Structure 1
Amino acid sequence: MDRPVLAYRWSQSEFVRAWEAGAFDHPVELVEGEIWPVVIGSWHGDTVGEILARLPRSGVRVTTATLPTGQSLPDPDCWVRQADADPRGTIGSRLSIWDARDVLLVVEVADETTIQDLNVKAKLYGQAGYPVYWVVTQEAIYEHTEPSSTGYRKRVEYRLGERIPVPYANTELAVDNLIAPGPG
């Protein structure tokens, strides 16, 4: 007879205490009560580097810090906030909480996590009210806009050879310049 599997859901405060105590031996993030590993391969790291190098920086801060969102503590690959924004609070001793109006763009680079990034994290970031969310894959960038209580109302796919809008900077960037060449 099969026994039901009992899943433990972490609270934000439990996760932060464990993280600050050094309980995790590898990078992790808290997403809807679950601890997810953070895996960064070569293509992923190269693509994050390309994005960080090319995002416009006038009047904004581009960061790779954890972005407390609801009761989750996701680690976007990078995100952009108003340069003059002040945190509206802290979690633990090292994590700042930001107002959604100050968060201008959230970016996840998806190598092995495409399904989670397009679904679970899109819902999480949309519910938080972040205006633009990108999921970057080896073939395309999926731009999510029009946040709502269920995620995002709109998703547009930008392929190699196209340009993606960067609304906070009133410009566009070439997708080819943001996605690193794949392995092989």
Structure 2
Amino acid sequence: MTQPVLAYRWSQSEFVRASEAGAFDHRVELVEGEIWPVVIGSWHGETVAQVLALLPRTGARLTTASLPTGGSLPDPDCWVRRADAEPIGTVGARLSVWDASDVLLVVEVADETMIQDLNVKTRLYGRAGYPVYWVVTQEAVYEHTGPISSGYRTRTEYLRGERIPVPYVATDLAVDDLIASRPL
């Protein structure tokens, strides 16, 4: 006979207090009550840098800050908000909360975290109402649009050699330019 496993779900305030007290010895994020490690390898770091360098800044602000979402505190690799947006609240002393209509694009770079980014975080960001969510992998960029309570209505895969539209400006970017060279 197996014993049921008891799981503890963290709240945002508990997570923030623990983080501010130095309880975590590495970078972590809070996703639906669970604490997830944030893994950043060479390819991941280089790809994030390329995405940040290429995303247009016209009328927008790019950031790598945590993005309080529902009861979670995910740590997207970057996200874009309207330049004139103002926070609608705070979590703890340092994290701003943003209205979903001010968040223009959320980007996760997925190396070790591809399954979580394409499933759990897709539901999380869609449920929050963020209009566009990209998951950048070593082979493609997955664009999610049409947020709904269970995620997004549409997922479009943009492969190397193709171009992906940038949702908040009238332009597009080469997928090859967004994805760093493959690790050896």
Aligned residues with identical type, % of pairs = 78
Indicate the residue corresponding to 2:81 in structure 1. Answer: 81
Cα distance in structure 2, aligned partners of 1:154 and 1:77 = 21
Indicate the residue corresponding to 2:119 in structure 1. Answer: 119
Indicate the residue corresponding to 1:42 in structure 2. Answer: 42
Indicate the residue corresponding to 2:98 in structure 1. Answer: 98
Q: CA RMSD in A?
A: 0.6
Cα distance in structure 2, aligned partners of 1:2 and 1:129 = 39
SS at match of 1:39: coil
Indicate the residue corresponding to 1:21 in structure 2. Answer: 21
Cα distance in structure 1, aligned partners of 2:76 and 2:98 = 14
User: Match of 2:114, as an amino acid?
Assistant: T
Cα distance in structure 1, aligned partners of 2:21 and 2:165 = 41
Q: Which runs of 5+ in 2 are unaligned?
A: none
Structure 1 stretches of 4+ with a deviation exceeding 6 A read none
Indicate the residue corresponding to 1:68 in structure 2. Answer: 68
Tell me the CA shift for residue 153 of structure 1. Answer: 0.4
User: Match of 2:170, as an amino acid?
Assistant: N
User: Match of 1:39, as an amino acid?
Assistant: V
Number of equivalences: 184
SS at match of 1:169: coil
Cα distance in structure 2, aligned partners of 1:35 and 1:167 = 31
Cα distance in structure 1, aligned partners of 2:79 and 2:109 = 11
Cα distance in structure 2, aligned partners of 1:149 and 1:6 = 27
Cα distance in structure 1, aligned partners of 2:148 and 2:135 = 17
How far does the alpha carbon of each residue in 1:16-35 deviate from its partner, in whole angstroms, 9 at most, with x for none?
Answer: 11011111110000000000
TM-score by length of 1: 0.99
Q: Which runs of 5+ in 1 are unaligned?
A: none
Cα distance in structure 2, aligned partners of 1:37 and 1:124 = 17
TM-score by length of 2: 0.99
Indicate the residue corresponding to 1:182 in structure 2. Answer: 182
Cα distance in structure 2, aligned partners of 1:64 and 1:34 = 21
Cα distance in structure 2, aligned partners of 1:170 and 1:98 = 24
Tell me the CA shift for residue 2 of structure 1. Answer: 2.7
